Structure 1
Amino acid sequence: MAKPIRVVVTGAAGQIAYSLLYSIAKGDVFGKDQPIILVLLDIPPMLPVLDGVVMELQDCALPLLMEVIPTDKVEVGFKDIDAAILVGSMPRKEGMERKDLLKANVAIFKTQGAALDKFAKKTVKVVVVGNPANTNCLIASKSAPSIPKENFSCLTRLDHNRASSQVAMRCGVSADKVKNVIIWGNHSSTQYPDVHHAKVDVNGSEKAAYDAVKDEAWLRGDFISTVQLRGAAVIKARKLSSAMSAAKAICDHVRDIWFGTKEGEFISMGVYAAGNSYGIPEDLIYSFPIEIKNKTWKMVGGLPINDFSRAKMDATAAELVEERDTAMDFLSQ
């Protein structure tokens, strides 16, 4: 049997983690023959809840799960880990300004980045889920200078999955018949879901998404706003955030890092923008089309960008620049 890998999940007592941990522990993410040591990190008041989560994981009697370690200490949480899934963050509370939210999260991700730098393997793959995910990811990366920037990514796969699903439903096909949608930019309401390069398999024949959908007004209007605002719509309906779909997207994202993307397909991930060919400022974590091979991602470059897309891509970049600059002020304090 393979040597166990150590995987830490932060915010491990929360509801996204509750949907996520079972999938990781049963082999849906790192493979059916990969033993796992799960490290569950949360804040001290959540430790009693974590004990309940540990009991449940034990009671699942999963053959791949070698050990579960609950902790509130970063030096335990990040010790020698192979993968870090940073779900925990300060959520936005009523009456809270975005600036206040950024300030609270800078403190969290500065601490976690420094702990990754000090205790984790230098090969660790870090996925940031907690919002504002792109900027939190940038802060964590800057606080962990000895870990390659390429090892950090943030989750825009949920938006990617939402976009694929909307197109699939519109065309009357299953979601796996849609490929190569792109989420550009920030995991926020400025993100740009782009289907100009997407393909849809309709009855065995592959068509461009615009030809398959045959409704340009919808693709440039309601489709974009539905994907941008989907998280808020779920909260309004469920009175809770989108935990099940977020957990599924995290699994997709990490599995693709581990096993690679399919030939001829790309997915969306927030990654360090340095060296991009799309005119996006370089010192950002920005969502691009990505291919992955041998645990190494590569940006898909050279896709033609029309004026409509350009304006949307620049708008979300501008929001990220503003977020970054505010966060960097807090980081230097």
Structure 2
Amino acid sequence: MSTPINVVITGAAGQIGYAIMFRIAKGDVFGCNQKINLHLLEIEPALPALNGCIMELQDCAFPNLAGVFPTANPEEAFKDADACFLIGAFPRKDGMDRSALLQKNGGIFRVQGEAIGKFAKKTVKVLVVGNPANTNCLICQHYAGASLKNENFSAMTRLDHNRMLGEIAARLNVTTDKVKKVIVWGNHSNTQVDDASHATVELADGVKAVYGALPQADLEGEFAQKIATRGGAVIKARGASSAASAANAAITQMRDWWCSTPEGDWVSMAIPVPDDEPYGIKKGIIYSFPVVVKQGVVEVVKGLECNAHIQAGMKKTEDELIAEKQAAYEALNIQ
């Protein structure tokens, strides 16, 4: 029997929290042989709804689920945490600009960052899902302090990565496992760079470059625009932001971070920019790169050739992240 690990879900009674907790308890992230304690953090008014979720978890009779601990206290939630899904955030409304989101969410991620730095394990993996995810992650990391390192933090761009896989597969009438090596560069926002220039697809007559199987102008135009604005399209269509697909993306990003990426492929993760500043991206922001993960260690894929269109987009999304950082730091009076 495995020793249980402590997994934190914030905003646990929300749509994404509800969609994710059952799959974590089932073993979709950490494996079918890993026992789990779920630490479910919510605000006080949401605790009654959270109790209903806990009833359902019990009714599912998951053999991996060792314990469930609901709380509104961040110190209790993050005590000895091994992995954290930071989902709880002020939700994006249709037409709401990102600066307003930064102000609303700064206080949330300050409190959580401080608690993580003081109470979580030093090996904790913190995945920020709540938007704007890159900058929320930066705020969380800042307030966690020197007790944790860059490798403890990432923000979720896996939803955009998965959207690329799904859209390419649909256009070529294949399943998504046939598509490999898509990239999301930069921010989880409308400026993100959805790059299929290195992607391949397995067709009936062999493995082909996606840039040959689909028109380059489309991949750098309408296709990229569709992926970058998909979140807004979902909000308009269903009246709420992505829930099941966001939960699935968080699951797949944490699973690859915890268990390693598949051989012969990479994934997109937003991480603190490494000291060697790959692709010329400056340190001090959380930026999405193509990465491979081996035994929990994240490495940026180096040496990829990027055309002028992609390079221009990479700089634009970097500039946006720098501006978001400045706005967030001003709002929180961080010097």
Which TM-score band (shorter chain)?
Answer: over 0.9
CA distance in 1, matches of 2:167, 2:94: 30
Q: CA deviation at 1:99?
A: 2.5
SS of the aligned residue for 2:3 comes to: coil
SS of the aligned residue for 1:67 comes to: strand
**Residue aligning to 2:69:** 69
Aligned identity (percent) is 52
TM-score computed with the length of structure 1 as normaliser = 0.97
For 1:21, give the aligned amino acid. M
**Residue aligning to 2:126:** 126
Any conservation in 1 of the 2:94–2:236 contact (CA below 8 Å)?
no
Q: Are 1:298 and 2:283 counterparts?
A: no
Any conservation in 2 of the 1:276–1:299 contact (CA below 8 Å)?
no
Q: CA deviation at 1:143?
A: 0.9
Q: Deviations over 1:25-72 (max 9, x none)?
A: 000110000000001101111011111011110111111101111100
RMSD value over aligned CA atoms?
Answer: 1.2
**Residue aligning to 2:207:** 206
Q: Are 1:53 and 2:71 counterparts?
A: no
CA distance in 2, matches of 1:176, 1:9: 28
CA distance in 2, matches of 1:233, 1:96: 14
**Residue aligning to 2:331:** 330
Any conservation in 1 of the 2:98–2:132 contact (CA below 8 Å)?
no
CA distance in 1, matches of 2:222, 2:97: 28
CA distance in 2, matches of 1:167, 1:69: 41
Distance change in 2, residues 1:201/1:96 (3 Å): closer
Any conservation in 2 of the 1:106–1:327 contact (CA below 8 Å)?
yes
**Residue aligning to 1:44:** 44
Q: Deviations over 1:79-104 (max 9, x none)?
A: 00100100001123478553332122
Q: How does 1:1-333 map to 2 (within 5 A)?
A: 1-93=1-93, 97-145=97-145, 146-203=147-204, 205-213=206-214, 215-274=215-274, 275-332=276-333
Distance change in 2, residues 1:96/1:165 (3 Å): closer
CA distance in 2, matches of 1:30, 1:92: 29
SS of the aligned residue for 1:206 comes to: strand
Gaps of 5+ in 2: none
SS of the aligned residue for 1:39 comes to: strand
Q: CA deviation at 1:189?
A: 0.8
Q: CA deviation at 1:204?
A: 6.1
For 1:142, give the aligned amino acid. H
CA distance in 2, matches of 1:26, 1:189: 34
TM-score computed with the length of structure 2 as normaliser = 0.97
Gaps of 5+ in 1: none
Question: How many residues are paired up?
Answer: 332
For 1:111, give the aligned amino acid. V
Distance change in 2, residues 1:69/1:331 (3 Å): same
CA distance in 1, matches of 2:84, 2:273: 21
Distance change in 2, residues 1:121/1:59 (3 Å): same
Q: CA deviation at 1:331?
A: 2.7
